[in-house]
């Protein structure tokens, strides 16, 4: 029987092909049971363990220790929908650390330690579901790391996450966020065009609509211009992708100036999207405070007046460093 890393890092079809007939049916049954029930006598333990959990206002952050001792942080967020139903979103990490260097992000202070395998990404869902008992309905790649910087493993893990025989998360409830990796967006666009994948979601962390400001907080802008980024986003839409979620981390005194809403509206003109304003969550020894609530509201109102669909991301988990931009392990 294959090692659990092979089990967790492959699609059902790939694993059955590897085992081949006459054992393919047996392998498929073990695969389904392992994901649906959390374990199977034929599959040894994966050697990973949750070493700590922290909770804040319903949000749970857990630290998962992998077989080589490397650790990742993941977050389970209860989110109430318009119907009043509570859904549990799992924020997944794709790397240990991150090389992108965004100045507002705690993970960036680690640098990139190493990539995660598809098995290690899926293991976060497996432990959230079968160890912590969370009924995960949505998955977002917004944890530690830049998903586009580890895209092969991320796309393989998405295949498993949406597999009806595995995690069975609908593609429409799987989202990937990038700091603006244009070539990665193009690769994700091709993935989205595969049968059954056209409902996956793309989010882009923009945070400023002018090169100077964006470069000062997001070094990737020096390698990928805002024009190149905008072109890749337009290609996503033209290929049939769903409207893009534009993430805007509002940092006091940095990207909240009076002209910012106009500049953002101009840069996004005619692009099907929704702006998600995220009040800055201070990292350790942050040079900036969290924005005042009245300033957040004023910015959102200004963006809305420019004709852009906009909402405020609810701040969740800030008290245990589990909010957006606060993940990072020493």
Residues marked active site are found at 73, 324
Q: Cβ neighbours of residue 202 under 8 Å, at least 6 residues apart?
A: 175, 176, 178, 185, 188, 192, 233, 236, 241, 242, 244, 245
The encoded tokens of residue 130 equal: 């079968």
Distance (Å, whole) CA 54 – CA 274: 31
Detail the DSSP E strand segments found in 16-84: 49-56, 59-65, 71-80
Look-up of token digits 């318009």: 82
- Phi, psi for 15 (deg, rounded to 5): -70, -40
The encoded tokens of residue 192 equal: 């989205």
Distance (Å, whole) CA 210 – CA 223: 15
Cβ proximity of 38 and 130 under 8 Å: yes
């Amino acid at each position: 029987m294959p090692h659990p890393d092979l089990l967790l890092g492959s699609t059902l079809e790939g694993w059955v092909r590897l085992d081949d007939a006459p054992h393919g049916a047996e392998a498929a049954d073990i695969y389904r049971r392992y994901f649906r029930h959390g374990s199977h006598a034929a599959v040894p333990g994966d050697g990973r363990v949750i070493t700590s959990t922290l909770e804040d206002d319903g949000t749970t952050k857990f630290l998962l220790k992998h077989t080589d001792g490397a650790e990742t942080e993941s977050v389970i967020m209860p989110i109430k929908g318009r119907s009043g139903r509570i859904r549990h979103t799992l924020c997944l990490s794709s790397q240990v650390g991150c090389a992108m260097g965004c100045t507002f992000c705690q993970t960036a202070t680690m640098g990139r330690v190493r990539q995660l395998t598809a098995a290690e990404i899926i293991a976060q869902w497996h432990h959230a579901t079968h160890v912590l008992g969370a009924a995960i309905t949505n998955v977002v790649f917004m944890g530690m790391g830049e998903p586009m910087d580890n895209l092969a493993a991320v796309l393989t893990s998405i295949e498993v996450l949406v597999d009806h025989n595995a995690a069975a998360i609908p593609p429409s409830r799987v989202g990937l966020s990038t700091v603006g990796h244009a070539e990665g967006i193009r690769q994700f666009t091709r993935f989205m065009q595969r049968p059954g994948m056209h409902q996956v979601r793309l989010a882009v962390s923009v945070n400023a609509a002018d090169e100077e400001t964006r470069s000062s907080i997001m070094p990737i802008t020096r390698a990928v211009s805002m024009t190149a980024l905008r072109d890749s986003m337009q290609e996503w839409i033209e290929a049939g992708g769903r409207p893009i979620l534009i993430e805007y981390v509002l940092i006091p005194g940095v990207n909240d100036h009076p002209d910012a809403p106009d500049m953002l509206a101009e840069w996004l003109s005619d692009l099907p999207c929704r702006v998600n304003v995220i009040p800055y969550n201070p990292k350790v020894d942050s040079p900036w405070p969290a924005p005042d609530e009245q300033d957040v509201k004023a910015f959102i109102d200004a963006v809305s007046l420019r004709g852009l669909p906009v909402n405020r991301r609810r701040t969740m988990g800030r008290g245990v460093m589990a909010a957006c931009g606060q993940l990072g392990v020493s």
